[in-house]
Amino acid sequence: MGLIVQKFGGTSVADSQKILRAARKAIRAKQQGNRVVMVVSAMGHNTDMLIALAKEINERPPAREMDMLLSTGEQVSVALMAMAIESLGHRAVSLTGGQIGIRTDSTHTKARILSISTERMHRLLDEGNIVIAAGFQGIDEQFNITTLGRGGSDTTAVALAAVLRADACEIYTDVDGVFTTDPRVVPEARRVDRIGYDEMLELASLGAGVMHNRSIEFAKKYGVSIHVRSSVSDAPGTLIEATPESRDAPVCGAAVTKDEARVTLTGVPDVPGTSHEIFSRIAARHVTVDMIVQNVGAEGRANISFTVPRDELAVTLEAVAAACEPWGHVEVGHDVEVAKVSVVGLGMARQTGVAHTMFGAIADAGINIQMITTSEIKISVLVDRSLAHAALRAVHTRFALDQPPPSLADPNGERHPPSPNAADVVMRLRDAAMEHLAISDVSLDDSQARVTIIGVPDQPGLASRVFRGVAEAGVFVDMIVQSYKGKNGKARLSFTVPRRQIDSALAVTARLQADCGFEALSSSPSVAKLSVSGIGLHSHTGVAIRMFRALAEIGVNVAMISTSEVRVNVVVSAEDGERGLKALQEAFADARL
Ligand code: ADP
Ligand code: ASP
Ligand code: MG
């Protein structure tokens, strides 16, 4: 007899008929001989409605009371689901997060799961019940109700599947599976049969709202394979597991986030430790920072830009003001009319030309790129919010994402077990809190060089021209960072290439200089890239900060940074490589897997 976790999202339980339909699915699984745990979200737009109600009363409602309020949405739907199952002649018991024993930390509205007790669920299952768990909620040490963040019922479902060692984790939703991008925005989007954890994790964090990003971290950490499927049809859906659909496709999906804001600090002191000061103050407010771009400016002053969730802009600006106070005049600008458009793919790390294809698609749509950051498996650009969907469509079309990838992994070939050493990992993590940071590697790559173009005019098409030229010269680009424009209206574009290709890269940029109106070029024939890899990096804002602190303490300046869900990279000068590596190894010793 198997154990199945079935999660139903808000639209799948939006009214009584839909609740009954979900109940029948669970009963069918039970009749097929399985033990069934359901995880249920709040009905329809109930959570949105509760948030709006709270804001009518208090513009910045206390987080603890928000959790008290929002958790009621799920409590309503689990009770109704239990009644539905009962009415269909089967036994069911609904449980809140607290009643199950889902222990979290006390970070209200985005709490992390520390532990889950399985005893009560097992007992109820043994007695022949379908167990119905309220998604998205837990309880802290003082018995305060906490919630896991918007979309967090997915995380509840995968976490329960992990601790119960479920045979299947089914996520029922209002689309047929995971698509190459949001099918409601780009109707030509294609459903993928299978997607790997790392790609799904990036996509989810970059705006693919179909799965909560932390649910994928759980799945990866504990080796849970997830089946995303429609709650209304029996369509095959999408498997999220260790093996992706294709390892060769440069891009497997695209996503857009429209709920971020850009913050730019102009004129911060250009000495080691300033980034640490800024980002640690922001992290203390539990704000997740993305797209960090810093640039050495003139006269010992630097500029730093980054994005944060829009509804956390106010606290971010408070934290920034406090950090900047001792530094005299620092100008702090921000913009909420921005959107981040990203592409993700395992294959891009091994191919030239992916960046230029993306930038070219956006340029041809006449859209200006305000900032660029990349990691090994993603490229993100910041554009004007009103142009975000046009940019997304252009990119989706240019990468032919509506077509199956050129070389599909053999669908009948060897299927990896959920995770190479899942059982081993679970053993090692047994005593740690479930969502704690887990570092798998700290490394140094000293095989690269850096090129920086100073004074890039703020107009569409320039990044596209640079990377087309670089790709045509056969140069392999790794990290790309383009800053937000400075006071002179011009940006700075930096990228790293293999050391042996620096001359070719410089020749291309020199050739473009006059034509594109670049002010100057600078380069470094050898740089050191320091990387920290693991699980839980991005949503633990602390990782980049720990890196900044460890490097600042030994007086090492960070020239470039790129962050992703699985890796944070910083570029420092070549002579600081070995020292930096040692400092980072020490800084992360306690979080090693
Ligand atoms: P649920 O209530 O079931 O949790 P969500 O609204 O959270 O459902 O997630 C499903 C929605 O995610 C879809 O309706 C779709 O609009 C959106 N979405 C965004 N990106 C993707 C994608 N890449 N694939 C599928 N759906 C996506
Ligand atoms: N009800 C919560 C939300 O709307 C959690 C969830 O649906 O996953 O965000
Ligand atoms: Mg959801």
CATH number assigned to the domain comprising residue 81: 3.40.1160.10
From 49, 75, 136, 155, the mutation candidate for ligand 2 (largest count of ligand atoms within 8 A of CB) is: 136
CB contact at 8 A, 459 and 368: yes
Q: What is the DSSP string of 244-269?
A: -S-SS-S-SEEEEE-SEEEEEEEEEE
Q: What is the DSSP string of 286-328?
A: TPPPEEEEEEE-STTEEEEEEEEEGGGHHHHHHHHHHHHGGGS
Q: How far apart are CA 497 and CA 480, in angstroms?
A: 10
Binding-site residues, ligand 2, Cβ < 6 A: 9-10, 41-42, 47, 73, 135-136, 150-154
pLDDT of residue 58: 97
Q: How far apart are CA 108 and CA 149, in angstroms?
A: 9
Closest CA to 482 of 384, 564, 381, 395: 381
Q: Which amino acid is at 194?
A: R
Q: Looking at the CA of residue 156, tell me the nearest atom of ligand 2.
A: 8
From 43, 49, 70, 156, the mutation candidate for ligand 2 (largest count of ligand atoms within 8 A of CB) is: 70
From 39, 47, 148, 175, the mutation candidate for ligand 1 (largest count of ligand atoms within 8 A of CB) is: 175
Where among 174, 202, 237 does a domain terminate? 174
Whether 446 shows a pLDDT value over 70: the answer reads: yes
Whether 317 shows a pLDDT value over 80: the answer reads: yes
| Distance of CA 37 from the midpoint of ligand 2 (Å) | 18
Where among 140, 158, 174 does a domain terminate? 174
The number of angstroms, rounded, from the C-alpha of 229 to the middle of its chain's C-alpha atoms is 21
Where among 157, 174, 191 does a domain terminate? 174
Domain-embedded: residue 218 = no
For range 32-60, the mean pLDDT: 97
Q: Are residues 307 and 161 in the same domain?
A: no
Whether 115 shows a pLDDT value over 60: the answer reads: yes
Task: Give the HSE-up count for residue 139: Cα atoms under 13 Å, Cβ half-sphere.
Answer: 14
Whether 297 shows a pLDDT value over 70: the answer reads: no
pLDDT of residue 270: 83
From 11, 12, 41, the mutation candidate for ligand 2 (largest count of ligand atoms within 8 A of CB) is: 41
pLDDT band for position 590 (cuts 50, 70, 90): confident
- What average pLDDT is seen over the chain? 91
Torsion 567-572-578-584 (CA) sign = negative
pLDDT band for position 425 (cuts 50, 70, 90): low
The number of angstroms, rounded, from the C-alpha of 507 to the middle of its chain's C-alpha atoms is 36
pLDDT band for position 419 (cuts 50, 70, 90): very low
Q: How far apart are CA 98 and CA 566, in angstroms?
A: 31
Q: Are residues 159 and 282 in the same domain?
A: no
Nearest CA to ligand 1 atom 23: 181
pLDDT band for position 301 (cuts 50, 70, 90): confident
Q: Are residues 164 and 310 in the same domain?
A: no
pLDDT band for position 592 (cuts 50, 70, 90): confident
Q: Find all residues with CB under 8 Å of 13, minimum gap 6, and list them.
A: 19, 22, 40, 41, 43, 44, 77, 80, 81
> Which domain CATH number covers 324?
3.30.2130.10
Q: Which amino acid is at 417?
A: P
Q: Output the CA–CA distances (angstroms, integers) from residue 518 to 370, 406, 456, 463, 513, in the order listed.
A: 16, 37, 5, 11, 5
Nearest CA to ligand 1 atom 12: 210
Whether 304 shows a pLDDT value over 80: the answer reads: yes
pLDDT band for position 417 (cuts 50, 70, 90): very low
- Ligand nearest the Cα of residue 151 is 2
Q: Which value, in Å, is the radius of gyration of the alpha carbons in the chain?
A: 24
Whether 150 shows a pLDDT value over 70: the answer reads: yes
For range 58-69, the mean pLDDT: 96
Q: Are residues 147 and 285 in the same domain?
A: no
Q: Are residues 332 and 453 in the same domain?
A: yes
What domain count does the chain have? 2
Q: Output the CA–CA distances (angstroms, integers) from residue 289 to 143, 211, 230, 337, 434, in the order listed.
A: 29, 20, 33, 17, 22
Whether 137 shows a pLDDT value over 50: the answer reads: yes
pLDDT of residue 423: 53
The percentage of residues in the chain with a pLDDT greater than 70, rounded to a whole number, is 94
Closest CA to 289 of 321, 268, 317: 317
For range 41-55, the mean pLDDT: 98
3-state helix, strand, coil in the chain (%, to 5): 40, 30, 35
Domain-embedded: residue 187 = no
Q: Are residues 261 and 168 in the same domain?
A: no
Q: How far apart are CA 272 and CA 284, in angstroms?
A: 20
Q: How far apart are CA 88 and CA 94, in angstroms?
A: 15
Q: Are residues 165 and 275 in the same domain?
A: no
Q: Looking at the CA of residue 152, tell me the nearest atom of ligand 2.
A: 8
Q: How far apart are CA 56 and CA 361, in angstroms?
A: 42
Residue 442's domain spans which residues? Answer: 257-401+438-588
For range 316-332, the mean pLDDT: 93
Q: Kindly report the pTM of this predicted structure.
A: 0.92
Nearest CA to ligand 2 atom 8: 151
C-beta 182 within 6 A of ligand 1 = yes
Q: Beta partners for 532?
A: 442, 568
HEC string of 202-241 equals HHHHCCCCCCCHHHHHHHHHHCCCEEEEECCCCCCCEEEE
Q: Are residues 166 and 281 in the same domain?
A: no
CB contact at 8 A, 290 and 260: yes
For range 123-130, the mean pLDDT: 98
Domain-embedded: residue 573 = yes
Q: Are residues 351 and 478 in the same domain?
A: yes
pLDDT of residue 445: 96
Residue range 241-265, pLDDT digits in tens: 998 888 888 999 999 999 999 999 9
Domain-embedded: residue 58 = yes
Nearest CA to ligand 2 atom 9: 150
Q: Are residues 64 and 168 in the same domain?
A: yes
Nearest CA to ligand 1 atom 1: 9
Angle, in degrees to the nearest 10, between helices 422-429 and 213-222: 100
Q: How far apart are CA 465 and CA 515, in angstroms?
A: 10
Q: Are residues 48 and 161 in the same domain?
A: yes
Q: How far apart are CA 345 and CA 357, in angstroms?
A: 13
Domain-embedded: residue 188 = no
The number of angstroms, rounded, from the C-alpha of 50 to the middle of its chain's C-alpha atoms is 26
Residue range 487-532, pLDDT digits in tens: 888 999 999 999 999 999 999 999 999 999 999 999 999 999 999 9
Domain-embedded: residue 471 = yes
Of 257-261, 413-417, 538-542, give the lowest mean pLDDT range: 413-417
Angle, in degrees to the nearest 10, between helices 274-284 and 542-553: 150
Task: Give the HSE-up count for residue 170: Cα atoms under 13 Å, Cβ half-sphere.
Answer: 23
Strand, helix or coil at 512? helix
Strand, helix or coil at 337? coil
Whether 420 shows a pLDDT value over 50: the answer reads: no
pLDDT of residue 424: 55
- Ligand nearest the Cα of residue 137 is 2
**Which pair of tokens denotes residue 473?**
């010269």
Domain-embedded: residue 353 = yes
Domain-embedded: residue 415 = no
Q: Find all residues with CB under 8 Å of 64, minimum gap 6, and list them.
A: 108, 144
Residue where the block lists tokens 């222990």: 103
Query: Would you put residue 223 in left (φ > 0), alpha (ψ -120 to 50) or beta?
Result: left
Q: Are residues 70 and 169 in the same domain?
A: yes
